[in-house]
Chain A
């Protein structure tokens, strides 16, 4: 089936496969995932609050409800058909630009995630960059521009406050987040995400999986909490806290532009989940039945993708669940936590592991 690709030049082959992977990941995985993630959030939130949640939309023109699984489609149709209202006082160019600047970086992060081992001859990663993690942080930090720009473009007070809040928040926690993963690379000695997964094959102490969560638990804790802050999720959803800022930076947005912010936010959460799985939970590996080795069959390839998605789902549900567990932080508490707790803690963490690695490896060298 793919013979014609094999006849192309190597450069062209890479390009074609990359295109197929991008389209496949985007339209078969990410977008359905985002829409059902929204649905899942609504259902799970409802269950936690003793409600039922959206359970009505099924197949149109029939009475089949399918547990409300048609809801995302209905939401999408609504978002597209709603009037795209633009207030007269907005700065139009930025107003248009902001939703795109939120959504595009969110998608781009996913490019370097190895979401499976191999499927046939292809590695299951869109771009196996050798500086994958740097790329990720670079792109993630672009995401803040969308929000700040939205706050600025809306030209009204609540979005503006939301934008300001988010810029400070994202910058602060990016620092802690970035430093939290430094021990990972010191330990692995590589910035390539595939290599990091490779490092996590096998077992630790014979019964634990050889995942970095067990070697670097503090890194994970900082990374996890920073991920909540980076994705504007409760308890750190200050840029759009409804009780204080109406809807924060997206107050003035409606229709598809609002939906783009929404998708961007959920894509970010998916990306953060994927990063956590990749960095600390062994990516697509499982430490038994030989599942920690790259797959040799197509079935094995799909199994690895399934394992990866399974691990991701855990974090995605965690994102939803935490929302109902904790109240929102005050802004000074947020900043206090970021700068006075996590940054020193992450630095100490780096120092600790540096000393640890120096002690262990220098001993071996001697």
Chain B
């Protein structure tokens, strides 16, 4: 919907008429380059617009063009010009096309690299002609001359462009009979990156990324000819916070992640669209899991948030999900006696106590790591019981690329739903005061260890009712009267609002352990029991209900969030 609106308002772009594979299309004359600057459209982009993919290794839409892999060679032609500088016409009145040929050998087509050749009016591109195919075969054969062909071992197998193009465009046999050049294997480039030089096709994507995107110019090519090798600047390590992106963009298995090394073959991984929760940026990710174990996060394209990149710290921040000490039992504690109870019983007991609680005797400390929906439901409980609510601020160092100083993924969600004020954590001191003074007798804590944020164990001991929902054990969970095991974000669905007000949804990837249940499901039951209002039992309905009731989200629906989210006013 919003896309349609933007195209309508866009001024008409200047187009060029060309032919791709014999079909006439109009292509914009200028298109944004990797930095968003308008530059002349290339043949590769034109072919993409025409609906055909031109194979390529070194070209990446978000990196400067290098044009060194030669994989995107295509045969093409331009309108022939007569000596009078007028186009030569065929007998049927169409312009005569002069195919690009070698100057001294006019029967041999001369291809051009599609990634770096701008289009011109009347140009004809032949991405599927016999000559183009022959060029691709030759380039592939050349790239494979020194390739070790160790796919059974290589971690890239299954998502390797060399494999894919060999199947699609390559030939089964190599004419190369001489011994292959052997280069170093398993080179330790940095703390998170392993390099296998034999597999490298020298596309220099990694060099360009780290120089131009990450701003950490440490990689380069050393040696000559067949002995070209990727290496770090002597004496340094490739260790910036964005190194793992080079693994993503490496079209072959040369750069591999040490974390994912030999962990699982990629074709086993079931993928779910999700979000990174390590900071307020809310990078879009794909969670790769198999048999309920998360193996990796990978960035997912979203130009409104993270482009195709994400930081290493966020990417590796998944190991806690399957930790052995995850809270997986719903525990009710009375004095020293702890027993396991059912969700039905817990919901009933907690809501009975909340209904009986005097106005102002309840406080809620939610977490800005919770989803918009959960914070919204908690706010409903708070409104009914007249509770004092707040969240916890979590600040750290940011950088100029993706990492944000706000380490909560949903601080804006907490603000918009009314759980917290402009400054997160402003009310915590007041709540602590209330507990000390005895006015606050009931505390509900979601996903935070309040003992680290000003409400000590001694204060928690004074409470009549402490309901804690969390994922991992902490001092607060130990003190809880009702301990509700919650879900990590990859175990449920929901939405976050990032620091720039982008509302994005995430999908479920794995099952939660034991009793653990998505918080919004429990909160829905609780809200129903406490306020008497029935709500939606599906996340879609709940989000849509919230969107109508929370002013900032008005007009947004779960469906309209799409994969890339919607920006709201904050």
Direct contact of A and B (CB under 8 A): no
Q: Residues on A close to B: CB < 8 A?
A: none
